[in-house]
Structure 1
Amino acid sequence: MTNIAWDQPATLIDLDGKAPLISNIRECARHFAALKPQHQQEARVLLTQPVFREGRKTRTWILEPQEIAALVTQLSDA
């Protein structure tokens, strides 16, 4: 996954139907980190700009839980 700007608008959604968090990537990652593990597995981030993925022909608009967790790691390392 390419670098995503921390201030890019994004929406953290829950497959269970809970209210989304509409903010930026940084806040979505922080909120994701506070979720319980079972809720993390149901979370996705909807981007405002699609990102390139290795091995895919097209860019995508949604980040999966493992990709969000990688952002949390980047955030904690910074």
Structure 2
Amino acid sequence: MEDVMLNMPWDQPATMIDLDGKAPIIGTIRDCAQHFAIFKPHAKEQARILLTQPVHREGRKTRTWVLEPWEIEKLVERLRAEVH
């Protein structure tokens, strides 16, 4: 999954949702990662990204349309590495 996070295009459309029911963030993978980076811990636990293109997950037969918080954190790490 890490390779997928490293190769996912920043301009790919995506939607960040909150399991608590707050308004979604509709934008790009980069927009979602930037917002996630400033979330408080509870908000990070509730956040998910809905993709417009599914990604492969190791050990699964099917691809997924949803990124979990730990996967979003990998995108944030990539963003920080590219900015600095």
The question of a shared fold, defined as TM-score above 0.5 by the shorter chain, is answered with yes
Shorter-chain TM-score: which interval? over 0.9
- Where does residue 64 of structure 1 map in the other structure? 68
Q: State the alpha-carbon separation in 1 of the partners of residues 8 and 60 from structure 2.
A: 17
Q: Secondary structure at the match of 1:47?
A: strand
Q: CA deviation at 1:44?
A: 0.1
SS of the equivalent of 1:41 reads helix
Structure 2: runs of 5+ lacking an equivalent: none
Q: RMSD value over aligned CA atoms?
A: 0.5
Give the counterpart letter for 1:19 in structure 2: A
Structure 2 counterpart of 1:50, from 54, 60, 76: 54
Query: How far 1:4 sits from its partner (Å)?
Result: 1.1
Query: In the alignment, what sits opposite 1:26?
Result: 30
**Structure 1, unaligned runs of 5 or more:** none
C-alpha distance in structure 2 between counterparts of 1:50 and 1:15, whole Å: 20
SS at structure 2 position matched to 1:49? strand
Partners of 1:19 and 1:53 in 2: how far apart? 27
In structure 1, the residue corresponding to 2:15 is in which secondary structure? strand
| Length-normalised TM-score, structure 2 | 0.91
When normalised by structure 1's length, the TM-score is 0.98
**Which 4+ stretches in 1 moved above 3 angstroms?**
none
More helix by share: 2
CA distance in 2, matches of 1:62, 1:22: 14
